[in-house]
Amino acid sequence: MLLLLGCSARKRHDTQPLPAILRYDGPLYQDLRAFLRRRGWPPALRIGTFSAEYGLIGALAPIPDYERRLDSERAAQLRSTVLATLARWRDLADRTVLVAGSLYVSSLLPALQAAGYSSVTVVPGAIGEKRAHLGRALQALPSVLQTRHDPVDMGRRTVFFPDWEDFLDPDFDFLTEHFSGPPGARRRVHAATALGEPISDGILVSLAQRLTHKGLLKQLDRSDPRSTAPQQLRQYYQLPDDAILFGDCGAFSYVEEEEPPITVSEAAFLYHIYGFDLGASVDHIPAPYLPLPERQRRLQLTLANAAAFLAEARHYGSFHPVGVVHGLDAADYARSTALLIEMGYRHLGIGGLVFRSDREIAEIVRAVAAVRASMRRRIWIHLFGIFRPKLQHLFEESRVDSFDTASYYRKAWLRSDQNYLGVDGRWYSAIRVPVSSDPRNRRKLLQRGIRPEDAVELEQQALRALVAYAAGEQDVESTLDAVLAYDSLIDRDDLARRDLRSLYRRTLLARPWEQCPCVVCRSLGIHVVIFRGGERNRRRGIHNTRLLYRQVRNGDQCFPADHE
């Protein structure tokens, strides 16, 4: 069902943009939100709003506050854009229900007919009759609310994989380097599920994606069909039923802003409709480089937001609210922890730790753990954005319950000497064979006067040499000669100071990919240690993360040296 509503004169006046369904606060919108709160967002429901300011837009499209009423002149101005939007929405549903005032109906109904909508129901009558009809139409839709997972029930430490659109093509051919199809038509699997076995206990998804053009929650134009309904995260990421969905606000993305761009009501609403198991309160990081008064203001704002967020979360009752803890020092973190527990939080997330040294983090964790130990109730504690291998003994002693980290995943391509984690617990350098057709590499080659065809020939010789070495058909030194002959063409300042031959020789002689039983290493062979393009690099990151996850699951406390 495509439900079309007129906008309402009554609005929420939050200064930040809000989804249209939250911005408008007339009786129909209040009824609609009450239904969604009780029943969740039915998969068959699409909602559009005819806004006097913005035209026909999706209910999830964020809009600023405004004051404008629809009149016949404004309706005529919007006609062409409304027709264009209806053309984009034609296949969203097999029937359309129009619930709006007479001027909205007289504008939308001819446009619906002109756009080819054949099954349109116009709800007649005064506002009371419209509300009753809307209620009956919504009640006929199935409920989708399900019991949300609580990591406390797992009885062990949990690890979350932070998502930032880490998808790969499962059918990529590493010999021909062909994808399964053109961009937009390729098969895609998420890094967290590509292995066929878990590499984490769930995914951490940031609502800050709504401020960007990347991710499931990314910014869309207001008339995009995807803004008419939420896509369920479990389906999008192809997660197993027991995986946990953890949402936060991505405070690092707006640390330079005066105020968080996400409101408390918006955060709670989005956690609810997207099916999150855990949702973090709206925080604002008191970064250490900020003036002291500003840091103190952010601490108070974070606590005030946490109180308001807990009330909103209880209003929905569908996800577990996580209170975000910040502080200027360990004592501040302890005070904030106590205040959040007094508010009623049973799940806490310690934020702002990325800025901190190991010594500072140790002090903070001890202080928070001491407060938690004094409480009668079980309090679950998550550390945002860090893992810190050297502190794992302390975290275990302090009963830290959970982490989110992508450090082992991203080291696959962000470090020159620690890209592949062997089952022996040692880091190995991946062997770089850059893609010569990459625009950046092509520019470098042209600047150095190297013909593209010469570069391609050396590139292919390097790849053939590595494959031959893995098959036992070529010795290590001649393989290195071929790799470095091509490698020397690409001027990379960050690697120029390193002895690449020694790093690469160590990797080749150890042949670590042969010792690992994971699907990535079994299927890719030596390609898993070739630093070349996203398909290889992401798979190497998956391999690294799998080993980290298995160590955590096994209760190990000795981890390879790492820098996050």
Question: Hey, what are 393's tokens?
Answer: 């003994």
Q: What is the pLDDT of residue 36?
A: 95
- Catalytic choice (166, 404, 487, 562): 404
d(CA 372, CA 294): 28
Q: Whole-angstrom Cα distance, residue 61 to residue 49? A: 10
In the chain, the N- to C-terminal Cα span, in Å, equals: 48
Q: In the prediction, which pLDDT does 217 show?
A: 84
CB 330 within 8 Å of CB 352: no
CATH H superfamily, domain 2-139: Uracil-DNA glycosylase-like (3.40.50.10630)
166, 248, 277, 401: which one is catalytic?
A: 248
Q: Is the dihedral of CA 75, 76, 81, 83 positive or negative?
A: positive
Describe the crossing of helices 27-39 and 264-273 by its angle, rounded to 10 degrees: 50
Q: What is the model's pLDDT at position 497?
A: 46
Torsional class of 40: left (φ above 0), alpha (ψ -120 to 50), beta (otherwise):
left
Q: Given this model, what pLDDT does residue 521 score?
A: 96
pLDDT in the model for residue 563: 41
The residue ranges of every structural domain in the chain are 2-139, 151-166+234-405, 413-553
283 annotated active-site? no
Name the pTM for this structure.
0.92
Residues of the chain where predicted confidence (pLDDT) is lower than 50: 494, 497, 563-564
Summarize pLDDT for 401-445 with one digit per residue, the tens.
999 999 999 999 987 789 999 999 999 999 999 998 888 888 888
* pLDDT on residue 316: 93
CB-CB contact of 12 with 114 (8 Å):
no
Assigned token pair, 224: 């995009």
Place of tokens 């893992």: 387
Which CATH class name applies to 151-166+234-405?
Answer: alpha beta
Rounded to whole angstroms, the Cα distance separating 193 from 167 reads: 10
Is 404 considered catalytic here? yes
